[in-house]
Amino acid sequence: MSNSTDQNETKEELKQQEVAEEVMEANEQQEATEETVVDEKEQQIAELTAKLEEEENRYLRLRADYDNILRRHKLEREAAEKFRAQSLLTDLLPVLDNLERALQVEVTSDDANALYKGVEMVYRQFLDAAGREGLEVIAAEGETFDPNVHQAVMQEQDTDKESGIVLRELQKGYKLKDRVLRPAMVSVNE
């Protein structure tokens, strides 16, 4: 009987050993599964974090583009407002030139004098209205030649004045605020 008891105990020990091994295997599988789940979750977190950063960068770029568009539009609107009269004033410069020529005529009779005064009034009103829009006459005679605002069409020699000085203004030049509408046509000292 002792033999059978020993065998039973051995069987019992083997069963316990098998159960212990199964438990260990189950624990190992569970740990492996948990590690896999943790790895998968960490990978998902990393992917989502990368995607979030990408979307944030995209948002920041879009926001910067939008701000640039708004700024550009504002500058264009301001320029359009500032120079809204440019086209009209450019078209009216020959009219202004003709009024100036009419005022250079010598008048002797009373009728011609009355007409002269009327033309002079129209000329002054025209200059005042254009001045309110920002039209300015470019200074020329006696000034140093500036190719940005003067157009030299002749050269003359005057020993009393320095070289590069504007001697005569042949046609007036005009600016609208800070933009040249027409450069002054001038004669420059050699």
pLDDT at 36 over 90: no
DSSP type of residue 106? -
Residue with tokens 């359009």: 80
What is the C-alpha separation between 42 and 36, in angstroms, rounded?
10
Contact 184, 142 (CB under 8 A): no
Give the number of domains in the chain: 2
Listed in sequence order, the DSSP H helices in the chain are: 2-82, 86-103, 110-132
pLDDT at 31 over 90: no
Q: What does each C-alpha distance from 121 to 51, 95, 118, 126, 129 come to in angstroms? A: 73, 14, 5, 8, 12
Please state the φ and ψ torsions of residue 168, each to the nearest 5 degrees. -140, 150
Average pLDDT of the chain is 88
pTM to 2 decimal places = 0.59
* 55 and 9 belong to one structural domain: yes
Mean pLDDT, residues 138-151 taken together: 92
DSSP type of residue 144? B
* 142 and 185 belong to one structural domain: yes
* 145 and 128 belong to one structural domain: yes
* 53 and 102 belong to one structural domain: no
* 78 and 3 belong to one structural domain: yes
* 106 and 173 belong to one structural domain: yes
* 65 and 90 belong to one structural domain: no
- Picking from 82, 113, 134, the residue at the C-terminal end of a domain is 82
Q: Tens digits of per-residue pLDDT, 77-117? A: 988 887 788 888 989 999 999 999 999 988 888 888 999 99
Structure confidence at residue 45 (pLDDT) = 92
Q: Tens digits of per-residue pLDDT, 42-54? A: 899 999 999 999 9
The boundaries of the domain holding residue 180 are 83-189
Contact 176, 83 (CB under 8 A): yes
